[in-house]
Structure 1
Amino acid sequence: MEEQGERLTRLRSIIKEAFSYFDKVGINTVFQEEVGTIMRYLGQFPDEMEVADLLRDMQDEGVGGPSGSNVVPYDAFEKMMLRCLLQKRFDPDDEDNLLSAFRVLDPEGRGYIEVDQMKRYLASGSSALREKEMSEFVDFAVDKEQGEAARIYYDDYVAKLTSFVDRHIENLYKDAKAPALDKSAQGN
């Protein structure tokens, strides 16, 4: 039981550290626009609509900051983040799911998607990326060694992405996400 408490303490410490990167003034609040970025850093990958729903839920519970405010207090973020992590609600998709999604966008089976076409996909719909996110995606997705700055070879991209995400999450959490943690933190 003590080990579970240590894991929960470590998990809270990791959440606090990530939150503090964005708490510029040091008053335990961040702007709502930063919540999705912090969640992604912590290994949860909601789309923008899901982030908006989480923010709305926090305000409905009376913990999302003052009414009409665009800030989120740490306590509310921590509670929401623990719940998402423990439920694995926004865990990253596995390699097979990602490749399947790219294959839908490549009906000819060429093995790549043109960058301009991908930008159009990412700029449309309810989960549209912001310009900065799109630029970062393209910089990461394009294989500079291939010399094809206009194409995303999705097999290579997915392998690179899943490896990067797995390493990041493993380094970030080490043993803090062990299954034994689930029962002790669900009451929070």
Structure 2
Amino acid sequence: MEQEEEIIVVPINNDLERRIADAFEIFDHAGNKTVDVREVGTIIRALGCCPNEAEVQEMLVAIEDPATPGNVHLIKFLPYVAQIITEHKFQPASPENLLDAFHALDPEGKGYLTKEQITMLMTQDGEPFTQDELDEMLEIAIDPHTQTVPQYTFLYVHFFFLALA
């Protein structure tokens, strides 16, 4: 006779925890309250947080299930992420900060960035985009007539990708 897997009940105490659990459960393909560690960054970003990959790796150290390496159980994920959200960690940039960033990238005040500039910035600086991420972003950001990224689109694209997360 097979040994039945122990089911751990994870109490949900408030709306925030329900929202976190709902996002988690989308990636819980086996229905056993665990997700693959590779899904954690996606789940965190879907909840409106914007950690970089190094920060996601730090999270994994804290929440990965030692009994089943490569997995994260909801029992550890839920309180950890609830605290992150409650403490307002990994918040997205404000529109004002984005506008300041755009102006820093456009010191001549042209009001746009070229396709080449944005491609270089997204693939060589900071945390580089993959080619698929870059293609998806350029499809939305580039004005088809001028082949540039206008200032208003720069802000729109940031919030579009947050909504997709």
Query: Which TM-score band applies after superposition, normalised by the shorter structure?
Result: 0.7 to 0.9
Higher RCO, Cα 8 Å, sep 6+:
1
User: In the TM superposition, what are the counterparts of 1:15-164 in structure 2 within 5 Å?
Assistant: 15-56=20-61, 58=62, 63-66=63-66, 69-143=69-143, 147-148=145-146, 150-159=147-156, 161-162=158-159
Q: Deviations over 1:91-139 (max 9, x none)?
A: 1111110111122222222211223322222223452233333333333
Contact between 2:137 and 2:157, CA under 8 Å: does it hold in 1? no
The alpha-carbon distance between structure 1 residues 132 and 25, as it changes in their structure 2 partners (threshold 3 A), is farther
Show structure 1 runs of 5+ residues with no match.
Answer: 1-6, 169-188
Q: Deviations over 1:10-59 (max 9, x none)?
A: 11111111111112222222222221221111111111122122222x1x
Show structure 2 runs of 5+ residues with no match.
Answer: 1-11
Please report the RMSD computed on the Cα atoms of aligned residues, expressed in angstroms: 2.7
Contact between 1:95 and 1:162, CA under 8 Å: does it hold in 2? no
Q: TM-score, normalised by structure 2?
A: 0.76
Indicate the residue corresponding to 2:5 in structure 1: none
Answer 1 or 2: which has greater helix percent.
1
Q: Identity over the aligned pairs, expressed in percent?
A: 30
Equivalents in 1 of 2:116, 2:36: separation in Å? Answer: 31
Equivalents in 1 of 2:119, 2:36: separation in Å? Answer: 27
Q: How many residue pairs align between the two structures? A: 152
Q: TM-score, normalised by structure 1?
A: 0.68
Higher Rg of the two aligned structures: 2
